[in-house]
Amino acid sequence: MTIEDATSVRELVFALLAPRAAGGPRRAAKVLLQSGRRSLEELVSELPYEEQAAAAERADRLLSQGVGVLFCDDPAYPDRLRRAPGAPPVLYHLGPIELLSRSSIGVCGSRNASEAGLRAARACGEDAAGLGVVVVSGYAKGVDTEAHTAALTAGGGTVAVLAEGILDFRLKQAYRELPDEALQQLLVISQFPPQQRWSAGAAMTRNQVIVGLGDAVVAVEAGETGGTLRAGEAALQCGKRLWVLGFPGEDPPGNQALLAAGGTRIAGRTALRTELRDLLRGPHSPSLFD
């Protein structure tokens, strides 16, 4: 084992044990940012030997699979996420971590989107990639998959934010059909313990990271309730630009609610590209398919 590997193992062990030692993820993030890493390391060192040994075994497994870890006190941790409510203390990652430093949009939408919604999601992925904007989404079927794969096919980068631990990550069929060169621009991240299974609650929590990582958030097709509606509301609450896609005829009920709450309606791809270019010009303010 090299010195670099040993350091990575230590970091992974620390990541695995820090939330437990601090009394939860939010407490761990608070200790890291307010008291410093040394304080949290002291808490970890007080855990029973058996827990530390088990964490070392899991760390070896993670390292063998190419998994890295990024702490919220690291300069590489995106500042826009660090400032977001509920920012996780640790991100486990697999793939090109430098994508987190680029301009990005969070894309949210239904797992069971209409054909119009799926076309709109593909347009988001394509147009963002064409302008060098990273697509951040949730790696679910429907809107997420269309946005991710469209961005990769168009030569762009995309971040898949998991609602489970990173050891549960498997490349889905839609992605296996893409060339290897495209998949090199797929970054997979998870805030959860590596062995944690998917749950509806974790999916809702995951959406906070999608919102936190995006310079803007795109609501593709939202229902009257559910994760997309909640993500859009969260974006507005923390002052993010929220772009709500317009549909031919009547907009979906969740989209109507988000527009009423203050989102900006995007009536076509020209409007989307205009907003993306404005995003790249820098901060100021918040508009899919032709």
- pLDDT tens-digit series, residues 138-173: 999 999 999 999 999 999 999 999 999 999 899 999
How many CB atoms within 10 Å of residue 79?
A: 9
Tokens of 238: 């923390």
Predicted local distance difference test score (pLDDT) of residue 138:
96
Question: What pTM value is reported for the model?
Answer: 0.92
List Cα–Cα distances, 208 to 65, 197, 198, in angstroms.
26, 18, 16
CA 161 to the chain's CA centroid: 4
Alpha-carbon distance of 289 to 1, in angstroms, equals 52
Element (H, E) at 212: helix 200-213
**pLDDT at res. 288:** 37
CATH class held by domain 98-281? alpha beta
**Per-residue pLDDT band at 1 (split at 50, 70, 90):** very low
Residue ranges covered by each domain of the chain: 3-68, 98-281
pLDDT in tens, 109-118: 999 999 999 9
> Do residues 232 and 264 lie in contact, with contact meaning Cβ atoms separated by under 8 Å?
no
Strands in the chain per DSSP E? 68-71, 90-94, 104-108, 134-137, 158-161, 186-190, 216-219, 241-245, 264-266
Q: Are 122 and 269 in contact (CB under 8 A)?
A: no
Which of 100, 95, 96, 93 has the alpha carbon at shortest distance from 78? 100
Tokens of 186: 């797929």
